[in-house]
């Protein structure tokens, strides 16, 4: 678990939007380069499946989830679709700050309502402003120093799931949302839709 203990309930209760970086947060930062038989370049990343349920449970609690990355890759678009994340922004070379500002303006969220999960220096302008800056276990020291909470797990190894659980526990919503989720699964199995 996190070396920072519980997320402060005061910070956690204000969060309405969780923004995820991709490389080093949703993945271990590794990128696999390949070439298909037809000569097409192929880029692969490894995502952690348990993070997906974390995202799902956040959304069930009414917390929005967005992806903002500085690299463009079809697999990120696909993972975003799989997780039902509508705000997927892949903007190579661009600053993340204007993208985050745009999401907040459209949705009417203040900085206090935003959590951002990060591992590297490029995210610091955003981390300095959000209400809940979070560093994954593999984050560089500069990011860890700004973070108000740190995961015990590394990116690509359940850091997103750990954060989702910690946020919902701090808000007192974890037990209810898990109970509802399990009940729904059970109902689906009884009716044969699961
Ligand atoms: Mg990163």
Tell how far the Cα of 25 is from the centroid of ligand 1, in angstroms. Answer: 6
Contacts of 162 (CB under 8 A, 6+ apart): 1, 2, 54, 151, 152, 153
Q: Measure the CA–CA gap between 158 and 105, rounded to whole angstroms.
A: 30
Tell how far the Cα of 110 is from the centroid of ligand 1, in angstroms. Answer: 23
Q: How confident is the model at residue 4 (pLDDT cuts 50, 70, 90)?
A: low
Q: Structurally, what CATH architecture does the domain formed by 16-191 represent?
A: 3-Layer(aba) Sandwich (3.40)
pTM of the predicted model as reported, rounded to 2 decimal places? 0.93
Give 10-60 pLDDT, tens digit per residue.
999 999 999 999 999 999 999 999 999 999 999 999 999 999 999 999 999
Give 133-144 pLDDT, tens digit per residue.
999 999 999 999
pLDDT of residue 79: 97
Give 144-176 pLDDT, tens digit per residue.
999 999 999 999 999 999 999 999 999 999 999
Tell how far the Cα of 53 is from the centroid of ligand 1, in angstroms. Answer: 21
Q: Is the pLDDT of residue 194 over 60?
A: no
Q: Which of 76, 59, 25 has its CA nearest to residue 177?
A: 59
Tell how far the Cα of 22 is from the centroid of ligand 1, in angstroms. Answer: 6
């Amino acid at each position: 678990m996190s070396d920072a203990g519980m997320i402060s309930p005061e910070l956690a209760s204000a969060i309405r939007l969780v923004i995820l970086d991709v490389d080093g947060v949703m993945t271990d930062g590794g990128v696999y380069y390949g070439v298909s038989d037809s000569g097409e370049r192929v880029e692969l990343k490894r995502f952690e499946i348990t993070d997906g349920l974390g995202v799902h449970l956040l959304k069930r609690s009414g917390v929005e989830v967005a992806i903002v990355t500085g690299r463009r890759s079809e697999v990120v678009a696909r993972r975003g679709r799989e997780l039902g994340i509508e705000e997927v922004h892949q903007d190579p070379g661009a600053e993340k700050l204007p993208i985050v500002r745009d999401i907040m303006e459209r949705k009417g969220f203040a900085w206090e309502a935003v959590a951002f999960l990060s591992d590297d220096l490029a995210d610091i302008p955003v981390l300095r402003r959000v209400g809940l800056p979070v560093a994954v276990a593999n984050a560089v020291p500069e990011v860890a120093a700004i973070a108000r909470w740190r995961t015990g797990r590394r990116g690509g190894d359940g850091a997103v799931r750990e954060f989702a659980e910690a946020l919902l526990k701090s808000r007192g919503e974890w037990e209810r949302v898990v109970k509802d989720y399990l009940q729904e699964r059970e109902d689906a199995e009884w009716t044969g839709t699961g």
